[in-house]
């Protein structure tokens, strides 16, 4: 029988902010930006959630729901630091740790009962150690599958521990709404409701063949999930095994629509740097670069180019992105711009003798740059053409060097 934990930090960004400013405790706090900005809520305190505020909600909507809330832009580097502290605690319990995001992780504790005790006792011990080491609260779900452990941690919030005894998974899941199943979004929920499926128990009673006919392979995964099984998506690999992304991207929404060419160029360079850094962290190379443009009227266009060889070098991705942009741009004001790396490969392919010397210089330079960014922050070093951008990565985005997800750290 397997034993998995899902550890989810409670209102993580807000809780870290409260460590540095205790006056925020107990108040409606929104992390993500100013109330009049175009951005979205990265996190909300439990006091703010009572007004209907939730993550991914537009900041302006959050302000309408709770005008007296305290809006803070957030400190991304602090969150990365505390995520690292949490990761250090988790590693003391199991070598098999997978950081699913900056504030949640899966642990495989199978076979560790002689060391940590039974699952419930181990979960309570881990819960206490996280609090002692970081002064932050977390919720922990323990179960025989990662899917049930994740749902259990959500049910345990805030600051709780919930162990689903093996054999009771179906009974635990049955009364829950189908949207509690990881991967079931608004569209899938609507489609399930159209079939009369509102609770996980309703889903579990359906024949797998019917679900496959109606929803394809995702239907088969849903049938497994309704029984409490790790089926599809994130749960395909083992804990700690990771898994390479299919694409890497970063976007930026402007506070005010802009048609200033130099500003747009600079933003594209900065986004390209962020994408290239993520590629290097995963030891991947992009064969295709794509950009996304959204104009003031919300019309959205994408353009892409396949390179002669794959790359993970900032300047090469930036040059391609800027070339695509200036071919596609109609000179109208831009609301959002994005850079995507696609067709990812494990190697860059053959370079010419003339290119190889230049490429090797960039490799050495970027290795040093990445180390500086790890130590002093992502915005410490930038290409000169990207300096004008001067924007912070959104605090809710996973950092490029997420603890436990960096292949370079695994090799050291």
Inter-residue contact 40 to 395 (CB < 8 Å): no
Work out the end-to-end distance of the chain between its first and last CA atoms, rounded to an integer number of angstroms: 32
| 3's tokens | 């034993």
How many other CB atoms are there within 10 angstroms of residue 354's CB atom? Answer: 8
Interior angle at CA 239, CA 237 and CA 243, nearest 5: 50
List the one residue out of 171, 177, 182, 52 whose CA is nearest residue 104: 182
Are 197 and 183 spatial neighbours (Cβ–Cβ below 8 Å)? no
Bridge partners (DSSP) of residue 300 are 294
Q: Are strands 97-101 and 104-108 parallel, antiparallel or unpaired?
A: antiparallel
Peptide bond into 167 cis (omega under 30): no
**Which contacts qualify for 200-208: CB closer than 8 Å, 24 or more apart?**
200/173, 200/174, 200/175, 200/176, 200/226, 201/173, 201/174, 201/175, 201/226, 202/178, 203/178, 204/170, 204/173, 204/174
Partners of residue 400 on adjacent β-strands:
none
Query: Phi-psi category of 340—alpha, beta or left, where left has phi over 0 and alpha has psi -120 to 50?
Result: beta
Of 104, 169, 273, 348, which residue is the catalytic one?
104
Active site annotation includes 411: no
Is residue 397 within a helix (H) or strand (E), and if so which, with residue range? none
In three-state secondary structure terms, 47 is helix
Q: What residues act catalytically?
A: 104
């Amino acid at each position: 029988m397997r034993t998995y934990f899902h550890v989810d930090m409670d209102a993580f960004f807000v809780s870290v902010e409260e460590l540095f400013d205790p006056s925020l405790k107990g108040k409606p706090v929104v992390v993500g930006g100013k109330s009049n900005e175009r951005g979205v809520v990265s996190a909300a305190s439990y006091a703010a959630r009572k007004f209907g505020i939730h993550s991914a909600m537009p900041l302006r909507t959050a302000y309408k729901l709770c005008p007296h809330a305290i809006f803070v832009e957030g400190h991304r580097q602090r969150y990365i630091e505390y995520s690292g502290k949490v990761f250090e605690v988790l590693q003391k319990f199991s070598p098999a740790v997978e950081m699913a995001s900056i504030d949640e992780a899966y642990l495989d504790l199978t076979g560790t009962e002689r060391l940590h005790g039974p699952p419930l006792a181990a979960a309570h011990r881990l819960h206490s150690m996280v609090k002692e080491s970081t002064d932050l609260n977390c919720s922990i779900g323990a179960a025989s599958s990662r899917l049930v452990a994740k749902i259990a941690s959500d049910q345990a919030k805030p600051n709780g521990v919930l162990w689903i005894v093996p054999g009771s998974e179906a009974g635990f899941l049955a009364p829950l709404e189908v949207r509690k199943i990881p991967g079931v979004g608004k569209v899938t929920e609507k489609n399930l409701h159209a079939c009369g499926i509102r609770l996980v128990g309703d889903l579990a009673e359906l024949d797998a063949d019917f679900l496959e006919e109606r929803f394809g392979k995702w239907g088969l995964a849903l049938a497994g999930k309704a029984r409490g099984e790790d089926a599809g998506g994130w749960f395909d690999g083992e804990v700690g095994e990771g898994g390479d992304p299919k694409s890497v991207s970063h976007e930026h929404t402007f506070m005010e629509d802009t048609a200033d060419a130099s500003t747009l160029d600079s933003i594209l360079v900065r986004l390209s740097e962020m994408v290239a850094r993520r590629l290097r962290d995963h030891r991947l190379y992009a064969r295709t670069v794509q950009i996304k443009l959204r104009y003031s009227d919300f019309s959205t266009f994408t353009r892409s180019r396949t390179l002669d060889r794959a790359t993970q070098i900032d300047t090469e991705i930036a040059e391609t992105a800027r070339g695509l942009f200036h071919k596609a741009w109609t000179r109208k004001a831009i609301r959002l711009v994005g850079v995507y790396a696609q067709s990812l490969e494990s190697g860059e392919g053959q370079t010419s003798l003339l290119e190889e010397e230049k490429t090797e210089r960039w490799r050495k330079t970027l290795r040093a740059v990445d180390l500086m960014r790890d130590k002093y922050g992502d915005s410490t070093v930038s290409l000169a053409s990207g300096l004008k951008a001067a924007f912070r990565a959104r605090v809710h985005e996973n950092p490029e060097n997420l603890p436990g997800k960096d292949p370079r750290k695994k090799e050291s």
